[in-house]
Amino acid sequence: MSDEPTYTEKGKPFERDTNYIQDRVTARPGTSADPYVGSVDVETWPVEPGRYRLAAAKACPWANRAIIVRELLGLQDVLSMGLAGPTHDADSWTFDLDPGGVDPVLGYERLQQAYFARDPDYPRGITVPAMVDVPTKAVVTNDFPQITHDLFFEWREHHREGAPDLWPADVRDEMEEVMRRVFTEVNNGVYRCGFAGSQDAYQEAYDRLWTAMDWLEERLTDRRYLMGSAITEADVRLFTTLARFDAVYHGHFKCNRNKLTEMPALWGYARDLFQTPGFGETIDFEQIKAHYYVVHTDINPTGIVPAGPDPAVWLTSHDREKLG
């Protein structure tokens, strides 16, 4: 099973399976470097440069978060990354972008092999991102929000000089609330629209999504980033959905009240991030479109991938420097 949802049972709203492998890679066994957390009640693995491989895919918004955070923090030399191709079958993401279709570090054709190396009877979806232990070639965790959290707090000794503070203490409480709303109403909200099992479920999802999008438009009118004048984890989490909005979610998921390009603050904000090192270079619009329009056969049975929109618009001036 891949991590992509299938069409929701008729008459029901879409619900995402969020049951992930909860092991963590931490700086000290049994504890978290995050002052909000302290002791940890799940199995922990030690931070070791070169030991782990981040299995990801540029097509996937959840994996795209981890790719961006790895870039922002400068972890490329201590955490290798393997990229799966944009399309997959019902069983697994595959490493078809690599020569011979095999990940050069893990020696796997399919990410499923890393999950089965941990549990031969692994029963859930084969998801990206996933942290894989290179010595055993087994998945450590696929808990995507925890992965980016730990890349910041637990891998700090290996961050590049001048790496951004993605979890600033002075706005932490509010940021947690913002991220929660962004996830439920926007990141997952577009899927709730696209995979609704009835007209009523779709309408409810659509209304919730656009209530949140209007809230974000207002919030970003007079501040450069979600939490003020500096980029945080909250911006990473929102950006991966915005980058896919006009190319995929507007039409494919029927989130079509208007385009992102028609919302001045959100569109300027999205371009601002896209043009920031660590963001735009992680976006591959051809892979993104291929993933959604080819894999989601229930929604797009023809498999035709749209030619547009023109990605050059992402490089146009945004004029948001004046906000801080």
pTM recorded for the entire structure: 0.96
Mean pLDDT of 266-272: 98
Active-site pick, 20, 60, 115, 269:
60
* Tokens read off for 47: 């931070």
Query: Could you tell me how many residues make up the chain?
Result: 324
Q: Is pLDDT above 70 for 3?
A: no
Q: Is pLDDT above 90 for 52?
A: yes
* Tokens read off for 251: 């039409």
CATH 3.10.580.10 for domain 24-158: no
- Binned at pLDDT 50, 70 and 90, residue 174 comes out as very high
- What is d(CA 54, CA 131) in angstroms, rounded to the nearest whole number? 5
Mean pLDDT of 166-183: 98
- What is d(CA 19, CA 177) in angstroms, rounded to the nearest whole number? 21
Convert the pLDDT of each residue in 215-240 to its tens digit.
999 999 999 999 999 999 999 999 99
Q: Are 202 and 254 in contact (CB under 8 A)?
A: yes
Q: Is pLDDT above 80 for 8?
A: no
In percent, the amount of the chain with pLDDT more than 70 equals 96
- What is d(CA 132, CA 142) in angstroms, rounded to the nearest whole number? 9
- What is d(CA 79, CA 67) in angstroms, rounded to the nearest whole number? 11
Element (H, E) at 5: none
Cβ contacts of 85 within 8 Å, gap of 6 or more: 57, 59, 93, 94, 95, 96, 97, 287
- Is residue 255 part of the annotated active site? The answer reads no
Active-site pick, 20, 108, 115, 191:
191
Phi, psi of 305 (to 5 degrees): -100, 125
Convert the pLDDT of each residue in 24-40 to its tens digit.
999 999 999 999 998 89
Q: Specify the pLDDT at position 271.
A: 98
Q: Which CATH number among 1.20.1050.10, 3.40.50.1700, 3.40.50.2300, 3.40.640.10 corresponds to the domain 169-323?
A: 1.20.1050.10
> Higher pLDDT residue, 208 or 6?
208
Q: What is the mean pLDDT of the chain?
A: 95
Convert the pLDDT of each residue in 186-204 to its tens digit.
999 999 999 999 999 999 9
- Is residue 193 part of the annotated active site? The answer reads no
Convert the pLDDT of each residue in 237-265 to its tens digit.
999 999 999 999 999 999 999 999 999 99
Q: Is pLDDT above 50 for 7?
A: no
Going from N- to C-terminal start, the domains of the chain cover 24-158, 169-323
Distances from the Cα of 186 to the Cαs of 60, 173, 214, 216, 242, in angstroms? 15, 20, 11, 10, 9
Could you tell me if residue 96 is left (phi over 0), alpha (psi between -120 and 50 degrees) or otherwise beta?
alpha
By CB atoms closer than 10 A (0-12, 13-18, 19+), residue 304 is exposed
DSSP conformational letter for 183: I
Phi, psi of 176 (to 5 degrees): -60, -40
- Binned at pLDDT 50, 70 and 90, residue 12 comes out as low
Which strands form 130-133's sheet, in the order they lie side by side?
80-83, 52-56, 130-133, 138-141
- Binned at pLDDT 50, 70 and 90, residue 2 comes out as very low
Least confident interval from 15-29, 82-96, 136-150:
15-29
248, 253, 256, 257 alpha-carbon torsion, rounded to 10°: -130
